[in-house]
A = this chain, B = another copy of it.
């Protein structure tokens, strides 16, 4: 028998967002158009300044970037955060390989093997994967769709705290729910974190993509100054996930020292993209306003479409570009498989993401899907019509 991989690698699930791709390919080979609403991979073009800046790169070498970031790049993050009322110094920031690496470094620096991090489920799946990689236990608090996925009060959160708890994760605006935190919810998290000396890993990848209220940043809360580990990314706000640029930021000096030591092990984030994102970070407003208006139109289009489908329940997202819909099916996973293998309407079908994998607790979210509205309004409208016909047929 061949040498076997580690248990941690074996026990990981294949990405729920990506595992249907072979079925998609087969459907496409049969000539069927598949509306892909599964991945948070924006269809919008990034600001042209990005590629322009990369094309201006004229240094003879392409060396490692410094682990604390190329100075001009880190300075651009400083300038970017200043617009949200957050004053940072370069040493408060370490650029990362996308938001994904920012999450991983935050988790690694917050908790040791066997320790616990509190999360609110459903949550972005990579947290689960990184927890397996780092031997950290995620302790979930299940949010309710009926309650618009609102966080519970401090007392409820506190019930999950024990001696092994090291951090609480919040994702704001949220992937996959599209919710955004109220002041009251934020204060509850801060209260618990301060009382029990926990880190707050604040994932603000979708900061500007918010449809009511203003973009927020947890580093603005002085009470939580030493607790917050900010996780950020250029991927969504500048429609460039392929750039693999994000950052970790914190006022906690010991934490940043730890982050930098971890970052040195993997050397650096990509050099060209650190340059490419400088003009984007320095003047983010015009672009992020434009795309947020577009995502708002899409949200409204998709909600209007879902309203026409009997038995579908959803919430009105306040931010990001996702929503969770409860479908009148037993297993959204089986339904999606059926959509790709057996169904088409006018030569079209669609790909959604089953929500079960966004939960830590087994058995949750079985009849839910996450919809990423990364297609234009016309396509979304059509996709919702296809979904309506599909559910009618599936439930006949």
Query: Which A residues are within 8 Å of any B CB, using their own CB?
Result: 2-10, 12-15, 18, 21, 39, 41-46, 50-51, 54-55, 57, 60-67, 97-98, 100-101, 104, 108-113, 115, 126, 129-130, 133-135, 166, 193, 197-199, 226-227, 239-244, 252-255, 257-262, 264-273
Contact = CB atoms under 8 A, between A and B. Distances in A.
Nearest to A4: B254
Contact of A239 (B8, B62, B67, B134): B62
Contacts of A43: 61
Given A3-B198, A62-B241, A244-B270, 10 more contacts: A6-B110, A8-B112, A9-B261, A14-B261, A63-B241, A98-B266, A104-B266, A113-B135, A242-B271, A244-B268
B109 A9 contact: yes
Give the 9 A-B CB pairs with smallest separation, nearest first.
A242-B271, A129-B265, A9-B258, A2-B226, A5-B258, A15-B264, A62-B242, A9-B109, A12-B261
7 contacts: A5-B255, A8-B112, A61-B242, A65-B242, A129-B265, A244-B268, A272-B272
A70 to B, nearest CB: 9
Contacts of A269: 244
Nearest to A100: B266
Which of A5, A15, A39, A226 has the largest count of B CB atoms less than 10 A from its CB?
A5
A72 to B, nearest CB: 14
A259 B14 CA distance: 11
Nearest to A105: B9
Which of A98, A226, A244 has the largest count of B CB atoms less than 10 A from its CB?
A244
Given A14-B264, A97-B266, A271-B243, A115 B6 contact: yes
Contacts of A61: 42-46, 239, 242
Given A18-B67, A242-B65, A258-B9, A98 B3 contact: no
A267 B252 contact: no
B272 A242 contact: yes
A360 B215 CA distance: 47
Contacts of A244: 97, 244, 267-271
A6 B54 contact: no
Nearest to A55: B55
A7 to B, nearest CB: 5
A258 B62 CA distance: 31
A73 to B, nearest CB: 12
A257 to B, nearest CB: 8
Contacts of A109: 5-6, 9
B97 A261 contact: no
A226 B3 CA distance: 6
A18 B67 CA distance: 9
A5 B239 CA distance: 32
